[in-house]
Each structure stands twice: as C-alpha cells, then as structure tokens.
Amino acid sequence: MSTVLFDTPGPKARARHRIYAVLGILVVAALIAFIVYRFVDSGQFAGRKWEWLQYSQVQSDLANAVLATVKAFALGAVLAIVFGAVFAAGRLSDHAWVRGICTFVVEFFRAIPLLILMFLFYYGLPTLGIDTSPLFAVVLGLTLYNGSVLAEVFRAGIQSLPKGQSEAAYALGMRKTQVMFTVLLPQALRAMLPTIISQLVVLLKDTALGFLVTYPELLYYARYIGSQGAFGRPIVPSTLVAAAIYIAMCLLLTALATYLERRNRRSKKHIDTDAGIEQAGLSAAASSNVLGGAGPA
C-alpha cells in the first residue's frame, strides 16, 4: 500500500535499508569501541581513578549534589509550566495590548541563551543592589527560558482543539478566563504531554549550566572531584558517573511520561465506554417507549 507522500518500499528497497542499518550500527559500535579503547589505554578505568567512590563522605556529597540538581529542576519545571500557561493564555487574549505584551515577553526570553540569563541574574542583579544566590539565578533562568518555549507549546495545543469546545463553554455562560483555564488548558496539557515532557527533559539537562554560576549541582561536584590530585584527578570517571546519573534521571522522567500517557488513554477508554453504555441505554429506553406507545394503539 502507498500514501500520497510515501511509497511502501519493495523487496530491493527493504534489503537496501537493512544493509544501511547494519552499516550504521557497525560504524557506531566501532566508534564506541575506539573511545573505550582509548580510555583503557590512557588508564581511565584503573582502580585508582575510581576509588573515590568508596569514600562515604564523597558518596554523601554526591547525593547532595543530585538533590541540588533535582531541587533546581523541580522548582524550574513547576514555575516554567505556570509561566507557560499564563503567557499562552495571554497570547490568545482578545485584548491587543495583552497579546502584545505577552508576545514580546515570550519572544524576548526565547531569543536569549539560557546561560546569558543565568549570568545576568547572578552577576548583574547585585550591581543594581539586589541580593541573589546561585539557586535563584538558575531557577529564574530556567523558568523564563523554558517557560517561554512551553508557552508556544501550550498555545499550539490550545489552537489545535476543536472550536466546539470553547463554543460549548461560552454557551454555558462561562467567561473567557474560565474557558481558558478550566476547559482548554487541561485538554491542551493532555494533548501536548509528550512535547511538554521532552521540554522538561531539556530543562533537567540545562541545570548543568548552573555550575558556571557556582551552583553546587551534579556537574559542579563532578568537576570538583575530577580536579582532586589525591584521587589522581579522575575527571573522566567523575564525568562518566555524572552522565550516568543524568541519563537515569531522564529515563525516569520519560517513564513517568509514558505512565501518564497510558493512564490518560485508559481514562479516555473508560469515558468512551461509559458514554457508549449511556447512549445504548437511552436508545433502548427510546425504543421501549416507542414500542410501548404503539402497543395500546
């Protein structure tokens, strides 16, 4: 079978695609093997380079660094979602001046690199007499940048909903704000959940930029351990450990997204089943009334 934009490959094309896939896997495997060989050859997997993991104080400090990363991520994620929801609603406002302000804010913070935002908040605000901290600079930067991206995600999700949703809400006498926050936004959140989770994964990885403003997160501590001469300066092992922890946290976040999506599908099926049962019951009742009315006649 074929579609308008894509023809289903035939036997020769499928064989060619398999060959390309095998060649690609071999190239990637060879590259990984070469990197591992270079690490082994340079002594990066020697026991002395990894003995720092055996110290209880190092384990405690590493756990605190992970908690600091999770703390910055949690605060940034919650505030970014709120920021995105509010400014997405503002961009869809009926008032031109509200749309203009929200559009300017979203486009402005989307255009500035996140690292520059952190630098401005950490090094710039004290020059204006405003006391700040590394956590404040990191969280505020994550909120403004990722919140601006999420605002566009929410706006696209809201505009993709059928117009009948808002029209039905207006017919019930609901105001614009009520329609936006009680009808449209909850549905947009469910519809755009994969995209939202993808942006939250980006936000989680962006917390690593906090080490440049001395925030004691995971990468900051990995860099600190990697510079210790007492452990043989294990910069590569400490970086690998940090990367493994980041990968584990991203996989957990992805697993949470998968769970929420499956739960959302089950709830939709439950609602559809209940609606079908109710519709069937109404049809049966109508049929019974018609037959009952026809009997005496």
Tell me which fold the domain 55-216 belongs to: MetI-like fold (1.10.3720)
What does the pLDDT average to over 242-261? 87
Structure tokens given for 117: 């935002």
Length of the chain: 297
- Helix intervals (H) in 44-192: 47-50, 56-91, 96-111, 114-119, 134-159, 163-171, 176-178, 185-191
Q: pLDDT digit string (tens) for 273-292?
A: 444 434 444 343 444 444 44
Q: pLDDT digit string (tens) for 41-59?
A: 888 887 778 888 888 888 8
Tell me what pLDDT residue 289 has: 44
- With pLDDT > 90 as the criterion, what percentage of the chain qualifies? 36
Domain boundaries, the chain: 55-216
CB atoms within 10 A of CB 185: 19
Tell me what pLDDT residue 267 has: 63
- Terminal alpha carbon distance of the chain: 56
